[in-house]
Each structure stands twice: as C-alpha cells, then as structure tokens.
Amino acid sequence: MQPLGADEPTEVGPYRLLGRLGSGGMGRVYLGRSAGGRTVAVKIVHPHLALDEEFRARFRREVDAARRVGGAWTAPVLDADPTADVPWVATAYAAGPSLAAAVAGGGALPEHTVRVLGAGLAEALDTVHGLGLVHRDVKPSNVLLTVDGPLLIDFGIARATDGTASLTSTGVSVGSPGYMAPEQILGKGASGAADVFSLGAVLAYAATGEPPFPGDSSAALLYKVVHEQPALGRLDGDLLDLVTACLGKDPAARPTPAEIARRLAPEGAARMVASGWLPGRLVEQVGRSAVQLLNLEATGAGAGAGAGQAVSGPVGFSSASVGEFGPAPVMAAPGTPTPAPVLPAPRDAGGTTAGGERPGKVSLSLAAAATPGEGGRGRRLSCTVALAVAGALAAVTVGSVFVLDLMPGSGSDDNDSAAGSDTASSKPAATVPPAPAGAVPAAYVGTWEGQGSGLGGQLPMGTFRLTVKQAAVGKELGRLRQTDVLGGVCLDILTLTKVTSKELITTSVGAETNHGGCNPAAHTVRLTRTGDDLTYRSESSAEGNPVARMSRID
C-alpha cells in the first residue's frame, strides 16, 4: 500500500480512505474504512473517464456483474455509486497480495498451491458462467491470494453471453495481451472457453514463474497466442496435461471450469484450503499486512481523535508522499459541478484572483507508482479499455518510480493561450525571431511545466511537463510527460515538423511503453511562446484537445 498523495481524495461516499492499493486503466483502488469500522477496497474511476458515457455504461455493468456473482472465491460488492460525478465501487477488502505481486516477489508457487489456486478459480468461473457472464480478463493481477483461498476480482470488462452489446468498437479485442484467448484477439467473440484459456495461462504463470507466451511487445504477445504453442517450462504430469488442454487453440476442445475443478480438487477447493494452501513466505507476508492494517488507525490521522469523531486524511507512512502541492481534496458529492481547472498565470500577466491576489506559479515534480500490469491514464476521453490486435498495451513495472529523460518541447500561434489561465491583460504571444533553417529558437529550449485542461477548460488534466531540446526537422524534439490528478502517467514523443517565426509545429505519438489508457494515435501539437511562458496546444480531439500554459523550470 502506498501513502495518499496530497492531490488524492480522502473521502469517497461514506468511506474514509487510508492509502492507495494500486491502479489500472480504469481507475485507482484505495484502502478505505466505513464509519462502523469495516475495511473495504474502494475503486474510483479516473476523472476523465467519468465524462465518457460509454465508460459509465461499462462501469455500471461491472458493478451489476460483480453483485450478481458474489459467491465463493470472489470479493463481494458492498456499496457503489455508478452515477456519481466520479463513479466508485466498494468491495470487501482481501488481505493478501495479487498473484502477479507474489510471483514477481518470490518466484513460482509450489504445485500444491497451484492446484488449490486452479480449483478455486475454476469454481469461481463455473459460478460466473452459470449466471450467463464471461469475465474476459482473468490474469495474475486480478487474482488475490488470501489465507482463506484465492479470489477472482475486477469484473470491469465482463459481459453477458445473451447477445447484449459489447460496448467495444468493431474489430477491437478486449483483455490483456498474453492472457487473452485466440478467439478474443481475432475478434470472434469470447465465450466461457476464453476464460478457461486465460485460467490456463494464469496457472502456467503461477507454476513456472513466467508467462506462457513471453514477449517484449503487445503485438508479439498477440501473435504468439494465436500462432505459437505455449512455453510451459518445468510443468509436468497431470498438471501439464490440464494446462495444455486449457491453452488449446480450439475453444470447443478446452475443458469446462467444472471439469478443471474436479481434476484439481475432487473433494472441492474449500477442503484443500482448510488444510493450508499458501507457502510459508506468503502466510508470513499476509500476517504482516494484517498487523499493519490493524495499526493504521493508531499510527495515522485517526490517532488522537475524540470518541465518535471521524477524521479524514491520509495516515502516517514511513516515506513522504509525492506530488504534494496543497491540502488533500475531498471527493465532490454527486451532482456537484466540476470546476474549471486553475492554470498558473504567466509571470508577466497582470490578472488577479477573485480575492485580489495574483495567483502564484505552480511547479512540482511527481513520481508515479503502479501495480504489475497496470497503470493510470489522464488524457484519453474515449477510453474503451480495448486493445486492437496490433495495438500497444504496456505493463507498468511493479512499484517503479518513473524517472524520465524528458526532452525539449515546443509551441502554437500567437493567439493561443491555456484555457482558464490567460487574462485580458496578458501579453500577446512573443514573436520569435527567425532562426536558421531547421533550427529551434533558443527561447524554446528548456524544461517547462504547468497545469493542463481539455474540453475548452472544463476538464482538469493534471500536470504537463515538457523538456525541449535542439532538433532538426524530422527529428525528436522532446517528450511530454502528463500526470493526471490521480497520478496516472503517459509519455508522448514529439517530432519536429516545422519551425516558423511564431510557433513550432510537431507530431506527437504515445510512447510504446504507455499503458492502454494512453492515446497511441499520432496528432499535431503546436508550441508557442506566450510572454515568458510556453503554450502547448494539442489537436487530438480524442483527448479533448488538451491545452497547457507552462512556465520554465530549468
């Protein structure tokens, strides 16, 4: 668990948030506590997705699907508000690491543990399929390992098998590379057999410590799943036979979840769990986590509160949170309009705030951390949590701190200004003296930072940081790092296409290492000097045409 950043919410609905458990393409997951003392996991969607009605429909479906399942080996939904300005859902908190974290931290699991894992997940899928649902995203990060058994979580892209709309674009597959079934990748639809294929891949990962379809890009993973046989390493015996059958290319030839459960645990997964199923190192890890959870109230913001007094705010942690630039916000109540973002005013601007004081410059650096295979994205509005066959969906490294070698960036025309930051008294955009052919004027070179917005200033888009270097036309000019209000990070690479006396015109493309929520499509970005500042203006309508006015920080 990570500490709450100063820009993260401390309350959602009736729950007080204590720390951040992880993040993904749809949102972030927090540890929360109800007024009655129950500990829960609260998933909050990324704010920009709340404006996407297609996404809201998917989120409502996730909540409905999870509520319908609610059986053994799944985390029950306790509360939700899909209609809130920023939708959220609360589930029972499971004390235990994800399978992805467990294997990344300690390697392959013992065969007995793998058998119990497979039996429990198979029973969960049997229940899911019996309700007419298909999970469609069974992967290591969606499996939790608890002392009481494995749990299958995150029904974010589950769908009914009764012919209801998939809410995805034609020709687009939904799922995670390396764990999707061939028929999903080829756009032939996903039945319960697709979940069985994913389960086989998960069991192979748990038993060998490596994914059955290794690769360093999404395209390579997708190709291998469709055309190549899995790499099953040290698997042998009947477990090898079962996993091989699950990973068959023909959906009709795969075993059913009920068959898998019977082959792995003839007397049921619960009996095997009761006799102990986790290796000692994981039992110890879960035990330490439970103790830390019990100590949260005493060591955190709740310490010293009077009886019956609810205290909001992040609890104490040994390391300082990143990105601190003000008091932590409280999530707005449903129906409350989202205010337009306040962008930093240029240093030479004469505008003042409503209180008569000139707004100060905001300058900060953020580090981002994420769980395996997941990430958060702050710009794309039409996020369908979908993956084109040749598209890129990168896994974010466990607990990594992104230290990017950001390169120089550029500008727009002399009338451009960041929405919400320019005033009538701002200086017009500076006219940059002509530079030698293909050269970037020195006034652009450096590192710039400021707050961005989209949809004409109605959508806060977090912190934009751009570092511009000298470059010739056709070469990389710089890189833009955008960190949304929940800490999600996307990196864009800008290539110089034209230099004029008023602006730099570039082509921006998402980095290959970005996660699925980032916009990979090429689009035009204009960089313009505005007084002492730099205005960034994107022509990406899919992202809400982001604009940011940035001040030089280096």
Q: Model confidence over 57-67: pLDDT tens digits?
A: 878 877 887 77
Most trustworthy range by pLDDT among 36-40, 57-61, 151-155, 459-463? 36-40
Q: Which residue has the higher pLDDT, 76 or 316?
A: 76
Most trustworthy range by pLDDT among 13-22, 224-233, 330-339? 224-233
110 & 73 share domain: no
CATH for 228: 1.10.510.10
Banded model confidence at residue 378, pLDDT cuts 50, 70, 90:
very low
Over range 217-240, report the average pLDDT.
90
pLDDT confidence of residue 541: 81
Over range 343-350, report the average pLDDT.
38
- As a whole number of angstroms, the distance between CA 551 and CA 534 comes to 6
**Mean of the per-residue pLDDT values of the chain:** 73
Helices and strands counted in the chain (H then E): 10, 20
Among candidate residues 137, 154, 416, 422, the one labeled active-site is 137
Helical pair 280-299 and 99-106, crossing angle rounded to 10 deg: 110
pLDDT confidence of residue 411: 38
213-227, 351-365, 531-545: the lowest-pLDDT one = 351-365
pLDDT exceeding 70 applies to what percent of the chain? Answer: 68
Q: Would you state the torsion angle of the CA atoms of residues 118, 124, 126, 132, taken in this order, to the nearest 10 degrees?
A: -140
**Domain assignment of residue 240, yes or no:** yes
Contact 156, 58 (CB under 8 A): yes
- As a whole number of angstroms, the distance between CA 77 and CA 44 comes to 14
User: What are the angstrom distances between the C-alpha of 139 and each of 93, 142, 162, 181?
Assistant: 19, 5, 24, 12
Among 281, 297, 324, give the residue marking a domain's end.
281
Q: Is 70 exposed, middle or buried (0-12, 13-18, 19+ CB in 10 A)?
A: middle
One-letter identity of residue 338: T
CB count in 10 Å sphere of residue 134: 24
475 & 544 share domain: yes
pLDDT confidence of residue 321: 28
Q: Which residue has the higher pLDDT, 203 or 64?
A: 203
pLDDT confidence of residue 303: 34
pLDDT confidence of residue 342: 38
61 & 112 share domain: no
Query: 367's torsion region: left (phi>0), alpha (psi -120 to 50) or beta?
Result: beta
Over range 166-176, report the average pLDDT.
44
Residue 52 appears among annotated catalytic residues: no
CATH for 77: 3.30.200.20
pLDDT confidence of residue 278: 92
pLDDT exceeding 90 applies to what percent of the chain? Answer: 32
Most trustworthy range by pLDDT among 251-260, 306-315, 382-391? 251-260
Residue 355 has pLDDT above 50, yes or no: no
**Domain assignment of residue 368, yes or no:** no
pLDDT confidence of residue 1: 67
Residue 167 has pLDDT above 50, yes or no: no
Residue 332 has pLDDT above 80, yes or no: no
Secondary structure letter of residue 74 according to DSSP? B
Number of domains in the chain: 3
**Which residues are known binding-site members for ATP?**
43
262 & 401 share domain: no
Most trustworthy range by pLDDT among 41-45, 329-333, 351-355, 403-407? 41-45
Over range 147-153, report the average pLDDT.
90
Domain span at 25: 11-93
Over range 417-445, report the average pLDDT.
53
| DSSP of 446-510 | EEEEEEEEETTTTEEEEEEEEEE----TTSEEEEEEEE-TTS-EEEEEEEEEEE-SS-EEEEEEE
**Which residues are known binding-site members?**
43
pLDDT confidence of residue 240: 96
| List of residues 6+ apart from 448 with CB closer than 8 A | 409, 465, 466, 467, 468, 533, 534, 536, 550, 551, 552, 553
Over range 271-285, report the average pLDDT.
89
If you search the block for the tokens 């005013």, which residue do you land on? Answer: 345
Among 77, 93, 109, give the residue marking a domain's end.
93
Among 281, 300, 326, give the residue marking a domain's end.
281
User: What are the angstrom distances between the C-alpha of 233 and each of 168, 204, 206, 240?
Assistant: 35, 9, 11, 10
83 & 152 share domain: no
77 & 123 share domain: no
If you search the block for the tokens 């879960």, which residue do you land on? Answer: 286
**Domain assignment of residue 336, yes or no:** no
Of 345, 338, 332, nearest to 420 by C-alpha is 345
Q: Which residues pair with 74 in a beta bridge?
A: 152
249 & 111 share domain: yes
